[in-house]
């Protein structure tokens, strides 16, 4: 049985390794893409539609770290900053909390936990696919296709 919990979270309540923490490349969740500029269309989409795809989180020493979904988190943070300036409520994002095989929190000093985290990261990367031509050309303002 897969161990995870699903909920909604404020993007400011989760931590992106290397961006919100002092960790560097030696951390298993380090990703150099945290320094990428989030495309404007992603921010506009988050502003108008929110984030639909859950981000994956793990708990380490009481903090929720982003396992997958760094750009979605950063994009929604920027969108919420703009929403606040426009007098709108901030949006939350769906999240799943990946649980370790034993205990409540991941122990990154435990080789088994580190290996499982790397496997989870590999799974996330394998599940990524290129957008379809329709998805690639849809304007963020258009939203999802009509049913």
Rounded to an integer, what is the distance from CA 68 to the centroid of its chain? 5
* Structure tokens that stand for 13 in this block: 């309540």
Q: Read off the pLDDT band of 4 (50, 70, 90).
A: low
- Above 90 in pLDDT, residue 43? yes
- Average pLDDT over the chain, rounded to whole? 84
The CATH classification number of 4-131 equals: 3.90.1530
Q: Between 70-85 and 40-49, two packed helices, what is the crossing angle to 10 degrees?
A: 70
Which has more confidence, 34 or 129? 34
Distance, in Å, from the CA atom of 93 to the CA atom of 87, rounded to the nearest integer, reads 19
DSSP 71: H
Is residue 7 within 8 Å of residue 97, measured between CB atoms?
yes
Among 55-59, 80-84, 132-136, 137-141, name the most confident range: 80-84
> pLDDT for 90-123, tens place per residue?
999 999 998 887 777 888 888 888 888 888 877 7
Domain chopping of the chain, boundaries: 4-131
């Amino acid at each position: 049985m897969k161990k995870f919990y699903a909920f909604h979270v404020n993007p400011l309540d989760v931590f992106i390794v290397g961006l919100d923490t002092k960790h560097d490349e030696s951390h298993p969740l380090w990703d150099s893409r945290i320094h990428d500029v989030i495309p404007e269309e992603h921010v506009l989409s988050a502003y108008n539609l929110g984030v639909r795809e859950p981000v994956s989180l793990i708990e380490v020493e009481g903090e929720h770290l982003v396992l997958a979904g760094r750009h979605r988190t950063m994009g929604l943070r920027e969108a919420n900053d703009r929403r606040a300036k426009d007098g709108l409520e901030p949006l939350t994002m769906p999240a799943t909390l990946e649980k370790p095989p034993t205990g409540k929190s991941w122990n990154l000093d435990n080789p088994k936990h580190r290996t499982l985290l790397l496997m989870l990261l590999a799974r996330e990367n394998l599940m990524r696919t290129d957008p379809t031509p329709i998805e690639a050309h849809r304007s963020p303002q258009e939203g999802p296709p009509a049913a």
